[in-house]
Structure 1
Amino acid sequence: MSFLVGHNMTGGYGGADILHDCTIGVEKGEIAVIVGPNGAGKSTAMKATFGMLNLRQGSVMFDGEDITHLKPEERVVKGMGFVPQTHNVFTSMTVEENLEMGAFIREDDISGTMAQVFDLFPILKEKRHQPAGELSGGQRQQVAVGRALMTRPKVLLLDEPTAGVSPIVMDELFDRIIEIARQGIAILMVEQNAKQALNIADKGYVLVQGANRFTDTGEALMANPEVRKAFLGG
């Protein structure tokens, strides 16, 4: 049983199912990546594990507990952090205020965690008094990830963290994601840059039309000729 697993999930928004018997999961300290064509249900599958849509069938288990019926905010308290793809910073607030907002569920001293985030993303320390709305796209993503880390999550869900950033910034973000996983945090990530994401993945899920098409290690999926041809550009 994985540390976090959405098992045999079927559901969607309104009457139409987007997910069809879909299973995704991740272990502590592991990076699991969800890839597939546009409209495959990648973000929906991850959001389902965070409680953002009701499942008609299936379950979500987290750290040995059934959390299928918990609201997203209750899952945050349990130790889940979620970084949406867009609208993921408070633009009028400073970088430091954004990070403080991430610690809303905590009643202890947050300065140690803030220092860890600044160690991970040095540019944020430099710009901590600057409004987040003035930052570049890549820097905003760092703020969003940093804010999620302020809750001290056991698992971090990232919805296309490198969308719209340059290749250099993408490589930097992936390096930081690897560092976060090394701290024992489980990372479940949706990525359009499938080849680069599978390169750093311990586990990969290829979804097509809301269902699992391939599940394997990142390395095995990269080496699979069918996956390469259909999803990785040959």
Structure 2
Amino acid sequence: MSEPFLIGDTMTGGYGKGPDILHGCTIAVEKGEIAVIVGPNGAGKSTAMKAVFGMLNVHSGSVRLDGEDITALSPQDRVIKGMGFVPQVRNIFGSMTVEENLEMGAFIRNDDIKQTMEQVYELFPILRDKRNQAAGELSGGQRQQVAVGRALMTQPKVLMLDEPTAGVSPIVMDELFDRIIEVARTGIPILMVEQNARQALEIADKAYVLVQGTNAHTGTGKELLANPEVRASFLGG
């Protein structure tokens, strides 16, 4: 069997010299897939995502992208290798216009970015309408669209989203999930941490439930939605 396009394999690690938060945790995503990480607060979901992106110390285990071991690379070098990462907070330049934010996303590129920008505007039409407006003046959902669009401007091989629907209304959440599905259909694998577990599992090709930094359940989104233990523990029955 060939291995997944992106895998954080049996990762153990934490922040700085602090205690380990992850304990043999494995998360992976294939091309064109949406993989989601869910679990209770403090389970290590965002920590696992940051470990894959190189933002904390992985003391054992490895991270591999398209067969290449990238465990020792900095986050900046991982972006160059093709990882797009959208953090939960502080993910836009509020004083810059929408279009300037998108241009900033293309900082690693030396080619013409017009076509990619057009693709982002087709995916998020509201951003075209507001392209000359300061990003900080937008609604929460629109700011998230800017953040995802900016990550797409790097032409990533994989897109990582840390709680993309945090703090937005249910209607905006549904819209964001629709756009995320559209991105995945272009072939870009998506690895996503999400608090709205039930809704995330409904769109997930693959899903991981983390508890205390370790894998508690793994399966397809449908399998975990149907799992009585997962339902009772994490989905309210």
In the superposition, the TM-score normalised over structure 1's length comes to 1.00
The yes-or-no answer on 1:199 pairing with 2:206 is: no
Distance in 2 separating the partners of 1:168 and 1:71: 37
The yes-or-no answer on 1:153 pairing with 2:156 is: yes
The yes-or-no answer on 1:229 pairing with 2:204 is: no
Shift of 1:166: 0.2
Give runs of aligned pairs for residues 126-205 of structure 1, distance below 5 A.
126-205=129-208
Moved over 4 A (4+): none
The yes-or-no answer on 1:19 pairing with 2:22 is: yes
Distance in 2 separating the partners of 1:130 and 1:76: 27
The yes-or-no answer on 1:2 pairing with 2:4 is: yes
Shift of 1:201: 0.1
Gaps of 5+ in 1: none
| Paired letter, 1:77 | I
The yes-or-no answer on 1:216 pairing with 2:222 is: no
Shift of 1:44: 0.3
Distance in 1 separating the partners of 2:220 and 2:128: 35
Distance in 2 separating the partners of 1:132 and 1:203: 33
In the superposition, the TM-score normalised over structure 2's length comes to 0.98
Distance in 2 separating the partners of 1:213 and 1:112: 42
Distance in 1 separating the partners of 2:29 and 2:4: 6
Shift of 1:175: 0.2
| Paired letter, 2:7 | V
| Paired letter, 2:75 | P
Shift of 1:15: 2.6
Distance in 1 separating the partners of 2:94 and 2:221: 35
Distance in 1 separating the partners of 2:59 and 2:130: 45
Shift of 1:102: 0.0
- 3-state SS, counterpart of residue 161 of structure 1: coil
- 3-state SS, counterpart of residue 20 of structure 2: strand
Distance in 2 separating the partners of 1:123 and 1:83: 19
Distance in 2 separating the partners of 1:120 and 1:200: 18
| Paired letter, 2:8 | G
| Paired letter, 1:42 | K
Aligned-residue Cα RMSD (Å) equals 0.4
CA offsets 1:186-225 (integer angstroms, 9 cap, x no match): 0000000000000000000000000000000000000001
1:102 to 101, 105, 119: 105
Distance in 1 separating the partners of 2:102 and 2:224: 36
| Paired letter, 1:188 | L
Distance in 2 separating the partners of 1:133 and 1:60: 34
The yes-or-no answer on 1:81 pairing with 2:94 is: no
Distance in 1 separating the partners of 2:165 and 2:134: 21
Shift of 1:122: 0.2
